[in-house]
Amino acid sequence: MGRHRPGRVVGVALKVIDLGAQLRRIEFLVPELIPSGYITFLGAREGVGKTTIATALAWQMTRPEGRGEFLGRPVPRGPVIYLNTDAADGESRPVRYWLEQHRNSHPDGEMGGVTVLETTGAGLTPEELGELLGMARDMGARLVIVDSFMGTFPTLDGNKLDQAMRPMLALRDFAAQTGAAVIVTDHLPKKGANEKEGDRGIMGSTGKSAQARAVHLLTRVPPKEVEGRDVLRWEVRKNSFHRSGYALGIEVERLQDEEGRAYGVNLFPCDLPEEPEGQDTRSDRARAAVIALLSEHEGQTVTHAQLEAAAVQGGNVKERSARQAVREALGALGGLVREVRLGGRGAPRAYTYRPEPVRSEEALLIVEEIPPLPLNTHPVREEVLTWD
């Protein structure tokens, strides 16, 4: 059996890892939630509160050492960069508004601790990302917020793996080189019939979530379930270095001055309403992952095995439950999915999702010589940093 020296580069893009070397300890900017040196995704529908939450963390990091806290967890003091591209207006009014609201609630912070940036063109180019990297190094930034992925890379099709992977690899290297926690906000797709908000996760290619080490979803709890209060549900969908698969409650308290105008805001951890009895949220998520994979790759052929794999990963379920989730998801989609048989040994099953219902004369089982969707497509080489 051949041996290769640890650290040696094999071929063009492969490196032998020294399994005997001691692994470095993973540091968390926010204990148990947001790791330093890696990408964290925070997804939500528009208007739910991504900017409120992101600026809350940024502001807490400008407070004196030992005073900052986020969702009941201590956070360190340190420089923050906030790249605002989601609502860029030349003044970053939404970001400044929320920073001022947090300042009014916690006046011991400093506005100078947050550097707010906007792009002057159509998103961020690879060269501009390099400039941002240099700025983060010079400042010793401990947190970099990219708000949002769609606004920062508007020329890319986020549904295509090869296009989504390019900026994700660049941001991954950015986090590793600076040691900063890089939080990327993104959007959730509009929920479909019989879906819960956030069931399908981050909008676009699964390659985005795959490159992030932590993925959190932010949704609003219906006020009728929490006595009319403003409560957000923070779901820990993925956390490679800590526990995942649970949710936190965040109550948003808005303060008003004597004239009834918004003056400040406080965030408090709170309990979430109990799930209805008998509801298996893992099965729900497994079904949602199957539906997401099909709708994400509209018009393309996805094999039954690939759907099962998505159910296993999305719902953290075993193979038997994954098969059941696939059956239920296909049943829910009904005529929107066409079943085909691929050519070759065993004629494996595959499915194609189309937004228009299949006509009755087309609803027959069809045998096709169609290659399955290449879900395991390898990303482009990391040294090629270009969005197009």
Mean pLDDT by 10 residues, the chain (388 residues): 60 81 92 96 93 97 97 97 89 95 97 94 86 95 95 86 88 95 92 72 80 94 94 94 92 92 94 70 83 82 90 84 88 83 78 65 42 44 44
In tens, the pLDDT along 243-278 reads 988 999 999 999 998 888 999 999 999 999 986 654
Number of domains in the chain: 2
Shared-domain flag, residues 232 and 294: no
Structure token digits, residue 384: 């090629």
Rg from Cα positions in the chain: 23
Q: Is 248 in the same domain as 356?
A: no
Do residues 323 and 242 both lie within one domain?
no
CATH number of the domain to which 55 belongs: 3.40.50.300
110 in a structural domain: yes
Residues 243 and 98 both lie in one domain: yes
CA-wise closest residue to 85 among 122, 115, 38: 122
Whether a cis peptide bond, with omega within 30° of 0, leads into 148 is yes
**Do 245 and 322 share a domain, yes or no?**
no
Residues 236 and 348 in one domain: no
Query: Does residue 161 sit in the same domain as residue 47?
Result: yes
77 part of a folded domain:
yes
pLDDT, residue 204, reads 79
Q: Are residues 58 and 166 in the same domain?
A: yes
In a domain, 144, yes or no: yes
CA dihedral 284, 288, 289, 292 (to 10 degrees): 180
pLDDT of residue 2: 56
One-letter identity of residue 113? G
Pairwise CA distance, residues 332 & 334, whole Å: 5
> What pLDDT is stored for residue 213 in this prediction?
93
Q: What is the pLDDT of residue 96?
A: 96
Q: Are residues 315 and 265 in the same domain?
A: no
Backbone angles phi, psi at 325, to 5 degrees: -65, -40
Residues 178 and 254 in one domain: yes
The reply to whether 378 falls in a domain is no
CA–CA separation, 285 vs 196, rounded Å? 9
Structure tokens at 211: 């490159």
Q: Are residues 265 and 288 in the same domain?
A: no
**Do 183 and 50 lie in a common domain?**
yes
Structural domain span for residue 234? 26-270
We report the CATH number of the domain holding residue 294 as 1.10.10.10
Is the separation of the CB atoms in 60 and 68 below 8 Å? yes
Q: Mapping DSSP to helix (H, G, I), strand (E, B) and coil, where does residue 302 land? A: strand
